[in-house]
Structure 1
Amino acid sequence: MTDDAQARIAEMVAKSDVLLFMKGSPLFPQCGFSSRAVAILNHLGAEFDSVDVLQDQGVRQGIKAFSDWPTIPQLYVKGEFIGGSDIMMEMYESGELAQLFEEQGVVSAG
């Protein structure tokens, strides 16, 4: 994995309040886990950016090293790695994710 990919990933994470690295796009997710992650974010009313890892092999491999997390999707909020779709689901069900978004000011109240 190249330093270039790491630098690009770091830049993407830094410039987006809520960023989802996923397979496919929010309109056309290419796997069930990515689809579930998008559904959670949409349900919470979060404005988010996404990166299709299928379009960039460097990012696809690099993101796993960047976060030290083996799977995709991966969610970042204000530069902090939150987790994959299982963690997102658990946090969503417990209300933690909505609370985090509210605390970080990344979701419109109501």
Structure 2
Amino acid sequence: MSIAEFIRNEVDTNEVVLFMKGSPQAPACGFSAQVVRILDHLGVTFKSHDIYQSEELRRGIKEHSDWPTVPQLYVRGEFVGGCDIVTEMFQSGELQQMLSTQQAVH
């Protein structure tokens, strides 16, 4: 399986996926930590992938989304955005609405 196929499979088969620096328990940058805090605050169950575990994954996720930075949040197969976008959506209530309509909040 190519890295592109792996990413597509992860995005398509998991309701909420976060590609980040580090892990939810030990984020390796403030931006990843911020997105994890938001998802945890909302009670969202999500799968994460540490882009530092693979140079191929680090490059592949940026190509997949055509977005130059990490973290990257996906909900139901769709790219939501990075830290700034996720934070803005959280503050406006748009993220909560997206997640609740997608059955992602448990």
* TM-score, normalised via structure 2 length: 0.97
Where does residue 90 of structure 1 map in the other structure? 88
1:42-76 deviations in Å (ceiling 9; x for gaps): 01111000000000111101100100100000000
1:55 corresponds to which of 53, 56, 63: 53
Tell me the secondary structure at the aligned position of residue 107 of structure 1: coil
Which stretches in structure 2 are left out of the alignment for 5+ residues?
Answer: none
1:22 CA drift (Å): 0.2
1:75-97 deviations in Å (ceiling 9; x for gaps): 00010000000000000000000
Looking at structure 1, the residues matched to 54 and 83 of structure 2 have their Cα atoms a distance apart, in angstroms, of 20
* TM-score, normalised via structure 1 length: 0.94
Are residue 31 (structure 1) and residue 29 (structure 2) matched?
yes
Q: Which amino acid aligns with 2:103?
A: G
Where does residue 104 of structure 1 map in the other structure? 102
Aligned positions, number: 106
Q: CA RMSD in A?
A: 1.0
Where does residue 79 of structure 2 map in the other structure? 81
Q: Identity of aligned pairs, percent?
A: 52
Looking at structure 1, the residues matched to 43 and 95 of structure 2 have their Cα atoms a distance apart, in angstroms, of 11
Where does residue 68 of structure 2 map in the other structure? 70
Looking at structure 1, the residues matched to 48 and 54 of structure 2 have their Cα atoms a distance apart, in angstroms, of 13
Q: Which amino acid aligns with 2:42?
A: L
**Structure having the larger proportion of residues in strand:** 2
